[in-house]
A and B are shown apart, each in its own frame.
Chain A
Amino acid sequence: MPLPRIVKELQALRQAPNLDDYAKACREFSYEAVRERLGPGPGGGANISFWALDRHIAAGRGERLGLRWLGRDGTQRDFTYAELDAGANRFANVLRSAGIGPGERVFALMRRTPELYLAALGTLKAGAVFCPLFSQFGPEPIRARMEIGDAAALVTGEALYRRKVAPWRDALPGLKAVFITETDAAPDETTQALRALLAEAAPHFDCAPTQAEDMALLHFTSGTTGRPKGVIHVHEAALHHYATGAYALDLHADDVFWCTADPGWVTGTSYGILAPLLHGVSLIVDEAEFDAQRWYGILQDQAVTVWYTAPTAIRMLMRLGGEIAKDYDLSALRFMASVGEPLNPEAVVWSNEVFGRPFHDNWWQTETGGIMIANYAAVDIKPGSMGRPLPGIRAGIVAREADGEVREIAEPDTPGELAFRPGWPSMMRGYLHEEARYKKAFAGGWYLSGDLAQRDAEGYYWFLGRADDMIKSAGHLIGPFEVESALMEHPAVAEVGVIGLPDEVAGEAVMAFVALKPGFDESEALQKELQGHARKRLGPAVAPRQIAFRKNLPKTRSGKIMRRLLKARELGLEVGDLSTLESDEQR
């Protein structure tokens, strides 16, 4: 039984929404109009940082609060737009002095400190490419991504550097500079303390005259096979960041906006840094990890008006119960949105009861660069649905035919693959050095998302699952291959299959099935050793939470491990077509 829809009444909204009539917005929308709104870029070009900083300063908004940073220890640091701009300029000058040129990749492996934001904005100003990494990655995911991305520079903290980078740093001959934050003394002669460099650098910098199609961001995503993919985004993506900030997040110039995502993932960059600054709003950044009372306190004390968070966090708040929220004055809050994995309908209804307003689920992925399907402030919500496509976006449900052709499914409520007509500004421009894999993402004039969904008669989209073996855990897309590869490096391991198991809080949790080589015996000690082995290499966000032994794993004739079958059996589900099964699982 679907939960009742949440009806929106325009008159009841506290602030006139940017999108008040969905059909009209879709009819009238054009990216050209957004481009005009943003105005000319540097030297007639396009640059995300220029539009996010210089543009506001030129318009006399330099003294507005741009970023408020809340430290774990209770400290607070404020940056006006002018101060953010000066900091970004200093960082751009540091890059230039280090010989980092336009188009070169600057990686960030950092906790959420102010330097992270200055590095992101300064990198873009310098015309270089910003590549954020999640600080909870282990050394192997970090190394693979920096190798694929041809890292020219790295910004990181001292402990992260020592533990996760220093041991293999020599393997990257192209790495010209390593900047260490939060210290006055660099740990060794191959690194430099960033604080001193920023202090010495000039606060002025002429923004690089990058063009619309110049690479700006490189985000990594995992595949079911092969190495991680470096997803290329260009400066023109700012148009989509701006448009979605207006429509899907309903940002207005006087908003206080809090996106809880870490910039190590695409949400934390597109919406944790860029979209809000493009809109000139005040951005809240919290250095600490999830803590319910701290979060409610931030919403209250910072008078957050627009809040963008993730289902895992929402479910943790739900576990805690809504009573606690009543101890806080959350009256400033106007709009709440969620992304990362489908938000369960109960959570939408719960939020409407506890906060007096619902979470608005939306859908996008690293490749799309920005929100594609959303629930809107002025549009009815059907709890459990991701909503409807953004103005300017043509979505569809398609079927891949046996001959490789793709056919659009017009009938409502029919499962298929979620697909989009390419051409929006934040669409990926390629997987770095992987033209063949990039081409495989398209067919019949559609970009194929890899997610299964269906559309109802009113045009609302409903997520059904992944079309492949990718795992969605705590909002992060985890490729089983990367996890399997790390486990295969252990001398006791003969074969591995990695799946996602349903998890009440995280959506899915990573589980590995391992078959041992002859001469090794199943034991709790070995299980722990494998767990530790995986965690050391992959970090906690990617490593399996559970490892189970099997004598043999189910395989196809070509020797491919059938993850789908492992999962179905583990969950007691219908195992489906077994015609390709050659060698079956043995417990």
Chain B
Amino acid sequence: MSLSEEQIRSVLVEELGRIAPEVELDTIDPDGDLRDEMDIDSMDHLNLMIALHQRLGIAIPEIDYPKLLTLNDAIRYLVARS
């Protein structure tokens, strides 16, 4: 099954909103490190990776987690593997 970039973006935004609902996602820099942009820590990021795997069915090996540190990088990574 192939997911569109739009589908992936909407799931990512939804899951980020679940972890850090206080952040207005349209105000953050899509190329900035999410940990700075959204004040999330490494536990939050780990939970995000697990949630994305569950929601999208895309395997994200842990070694690749650092490749999903910005909004744009995460979308690029997930689109390439969907």
Are the C-beta atoms of B44 and A540 separated by less than 8 Å? yes
Are the C-beta atoms of B46 and A316 separated by less than 8 Å? yes
Question: Pick the contact of A136 from B23, B41, B46, B65 — CB < 8 Å?
Answer: B41
- From B4-12, B14-22, B52-60, B74-82, give the one contacting chain A: B14-22
Task: Indicate whether A505 sits within 8 Å of B43 (C-beta atoms), given known contacts A533-B22, A535-B22.
Answer: yes
Proximity string of chain A (480-495) to chain B, C-beta cutoff 8 Å, 1 when within and 0 when not: 0000000000000000
Proximity string of chain B (37-57) to chain A, C-beta cutoff 8 Å, 1 when within and 0 when not: 001111110110000000000
Whether, in the assembled complex, A456 has its beta carbon less than 8 Å from a beta carbon of chain B, the answer is: no
Question: Pick the contact of B43 from A291, A293, A545 — CB < 8 Å?
Answer: A545
Q: Nearest 5 CB-CB pairs, A to B?
A: A532-B22, A532-B21, A528-B21, A540-B41, A320-B62
Task: Indicate whether A292 sits within 8 Å of B44 (C-beta atoms), given known contacts A136-B39, A528-B18.
Answer: no
Proximity string of chain A (266-304) to chain B, C-beta cutoff 8 Å, 1 when within and 0 when not: 000000000000000000000001111110000000000
Whether, in the assembled complex, A215 has its beta carbon less than 8 Å from a beta carbon of chain B, the answer is: no
Name B residues whose Cβ lies closer than 8 Å to a Cβ of A: 17-18, 20-23, 35-36, 39-44, 46-47, 62-63, 65-66
Name A residues whose Cβ lies closer than 8 Å to a Cβ of B: 136, 138, 159, 163, 289-294, 312, 316, 319-320, 324, 473-474, 505-506, 509, 528-529, 531-533, 535-536, 539-541, 545
Question: Would you give the shortest CB distance from B66 to chain A, in whole angstroms?
Answer: 5
Are the C-beta atoms of B39 and A539 separated by less than 8 Å? yes
Question: How far does the alpha carbon of A159 sit from the alpha carbon of B39 in the complex, in Å?
Answer: 11
User: Given the complex, which residues of B lie within 8 Å of A312, measured CB to CB?
Assistant: 43
User: Given the complex, which residues of B lie within 8 Å of A290, measured CB to CB?
Assistant: 42
Question: How far does the alpha carbon of A530 sit from the alpha carbon of B22 in the complex, in Å?
Answer: 9
Question: Pick the contact of A509 from B18, B39, B43, B62 — CB < 8 Å?
Answer: B43
Question: Would you give the shortest CB distance from B15 to chain A, in whole angstroms?
Answer: 12
Give 15 CB contacts A-B under 8 Å.
A136-B39, A289-B35, A291-B65, A292-B63, A293-B63, A316-B42, A319-B62, A528-B21, A531-B21, A532-B20, A532-B21, A532-B23, A535-B22, A540-B39, A545-B47
Write the chain A residue with the least CB distance to B17. Answer: A528
Are the C-beta atoms of A540 and B66 separated by less than 8 Å? no
Are the C-beta atoms of B42 and A289 separated by less than 8 Å? yes
Residue of B35, B36, B41, B44 with highest tally of chain A CB at under 10 A: B41
Question: How far does the alpha carbon of A290 sit from the alpha carbon of B62 in the complex, in Å?
Answer: 12
Question: How far does the alpha carbon of A529 sit from the alpha carbon of B17 in the complex, in Å?
Answer: 10
Question: How far does the alpha carbon of A136 sit from the alpha carbon of B20 in the complex, in Å?
Answer: 14
Question: How far does the alpha carbon of A541 sit from the alpha carbon of B36 in the complex, in Å?
Answer: 13
Write the chain B residue with the least CB distance to A136. Answer: B41
Question: How far does the alpha carbon of A474 sit from the alpha carbon of B46 in the complex, in Å?
Answer: 13
User: Given the complex, which residues of B lie within 8 Å of A506, measured CB to CB?
Assistant: 43
User: Given the complex, which residues of A lie within 8 Å of B23, measured CB to CB?
Assistant: 532
Task: Indicate whether A324 sits within 8 Å of B63 (C-beta atoms), given known contacts A316-B46, A505-B46, A540-B39.
Answer: yes
Question: Would you give the shortest CB distance from A280 to chain B, in whole angstroms?
Answer: 32
Are the C-beta atoms of B62 and A292 separated by less than 8 Å? yes
Question: How far does the alpha carbon of A528 sit from the alpha carbon of B23 in the complex, in Å?
Answer: 11
Are the C-beta atoms of A536 and B62 separated by less than 8 Å? no
User: Given the complex, which residues of A lie within 8 Å of B17, measured CB to CB?
Assistant: 528
Are the C-beta atoms of B22 and A536 separated by less than 8 Å? yes
Write the chain B residue with the least CB distance to A320. Answer: B62
User: Given the complex, which residues of A lie within 8 Å of B36, measured CB to CB?
Assistant: 159
Task: Indicate whether A529 sits within 8 Å of B41 (C-beta atoms), given known contacts A292-B63, A294-B66.
Answer: no
Question: Would you give the shortest CB distance from B36 to chain A, in whole angstroms?
Answer: 8
Question: How far does the alpha carbon of A539 sit from the alpha carbon of B36 in the complex, in Å?
Answer: 12
Question: How far does the alpha carbon of A291 sit from the alpha carbon of B43 in the complex, in Å?
Answer: 12
Write the chain B residue with the least CB distance to A535. Answer: B22
Question: Pick the contact of A320 from B40, B41, B43, B63 — CB < 8 Å?
Answer: B63
Question: Pick the contact of B39 from A291, A528, A535 — CB < 8 Å?
Answer: A535
Question: Pick the contact of A293 from B18, B20, B44, B66 — CB < 8 Å?
Answer: B66
User: Given the complex, which residues of A lie within 8 Å of B66, measured CB to CB?
Assistant: 291, 293-294
Question: Pick the contact of B40 from A528, A529, A540 — CB < 8 Å?
Answer: A540
New A-B contacts (15) at CB < 8 Å, excluding given A293-B66, A320-B62, A505-B46:
A136-B41, A159-B36, A289-B35, A312-B43, A473-B43, A474-B41, A474-B43, A506-B43, A532-B20, A532-B21, A532-B22, A535-B21, A535-B22, A541-B41, A545-B44
Question: How far does the alpha carbon of A291 sit from the alpha carbon of B67 in the complex, in Å?
Answer: 10
Question: Would you give the shortest CB distance from B68 to chain A, in whole angstroms?
Answer: 12
Residue of A159, A291, A528, A535 with highest tally of chain B CB at under 10 A: A535
